[in-house]
Amino acid sequence: MRLSVASPFLKEPHLAFARAAAEVGPRLPTESPYVLADGRRAVQLMAEAGLYAALEKVEALAICAIREELASFSGLADSVFAVQGLGSYPIALGGSDALKRELLPAAAKGERVFAFALTEPEAGSDAANVRTTARRVGDTYVLDGRKRFISNSGIANHYTVFARINESQRHISAFVVDAGTPGFTVGPQTELLAPHPLAELTFEECVVPASRRLGDEGQGLKLALATLDLFRATVGAAAVGMGKRAVKEALAHAQSREQFGAPLFDLQGVQFLISESVMELDAARLLVHHAASVKDGGARVTYEAAVAKLFATEAAQRVIDRSLQVHGGSGVCKGAAVERLYREIRALRIYEGASDVQKLVIARELAKSM
């Protein structure tokens, strides 16, 4: 069934990753009360499928191809996969050679799980306002503070944590903190609209070796923003995947459900809803792949990634809403695929920069170019 235009950006290596993700997709956990067990199971299945190798190559187009397929099956698995990249990429950018040798091969094989700990109660979109501190003591740093809404919490072996150096300074550094480090606590799981591993982190006199600092002191925010620049467009790919699944569900329902003596699909209004959805997804996919292609070419993609994420996530929300409307009452029943997608898509318009933040980024980048 044709549901999209062919992307001129995807080549055979990217398509191979997409096929592997599509093959493992039906076996991925979606959601249950056992979110930590589901998260670990998703890691195992994706590692067996070789998907984490795309993170080692750091190819945005490959990551987009994978996320579109994963998200069409399981928002939980897509999130776990993406955060593996968010947590490990700063190590690739700023870790010592020894730290890279220790952690990155294990990340690429899915043998170790990573998390990205930037957000705090007082620092969401304003990432520079983090209040967790890192105090230098000899060859160590002592971390104190709290992190909030940290994905992969509870299943991660390593957390990339961003903290200010001393109370009075706004210079942010990044550190790799291992699960089980004394003074580091992972709180209970936060209940979400669409469950995935997420919790609050607490640091109380948590001692971290200076060798696990990423980059020089004060380079943490630069590492965080570079990481988000890479992965922001891939959020749009996940949104396209969710929208694509929603359209498939709507088509199947409209063609099998009879109303007024004919398939629901024969109603012009239903055809319009589905046509508008496919059109928006095609446009979103091309914007996402363009941003990823520019990134893979080595250029800065702050503007392109913001445009791609904003358009794709907002479009996918509309697409899924239309698809649920086609289902009528059955679409709001717990357990329906479109009902799950309706809950899953909402977070994508918030994390890694909410839609309103993307509008600010776009406007500021335009102003710079004038």
Catalytically annotated residues: 352
> Can you list the alpha helix ranges (DSSP code H) found in 95-199?
97-109
3-class secondary-structure state, position 216: coil
Check if the beta carbon of residue 306 is closer than 8 Å to that of residue 275.
no
Q: Which two tokens stand for residue 240?
A: 């396209």
Question: Distance from first CA to last CA of the chain, Å, rounded?
Answer: 44
> Per-residue DSSP letters for 42-105?
HHHHHHHTTTTHHHHHT-HHHHHHHHHHHHHH-HHHHHHHHHHHHHHHHHHHH--HHHHHHHHH
Q: Report the 10 Å Cβ neighbour count for 277.
A: 26
Q: 3-class DSSP state for residue 203? A: strand
Specify the 3-state DSSP secondary structure of 362. Answer: helix
Q: Tabulate helix, strand, coil % of the chain (nearest 5).
A: 60, 15, 25
Rounded Cα distance between 52 and 174, Å, is 23
> How are beta strands 114-117 and 158-165 bridged, if at all?
parallel
Q: How many other CB atoms are there within 10 angstroms of residue 258's CB atom?
A: 10
For residue 90, which amino acid is it? P
DSSP state of 121: T
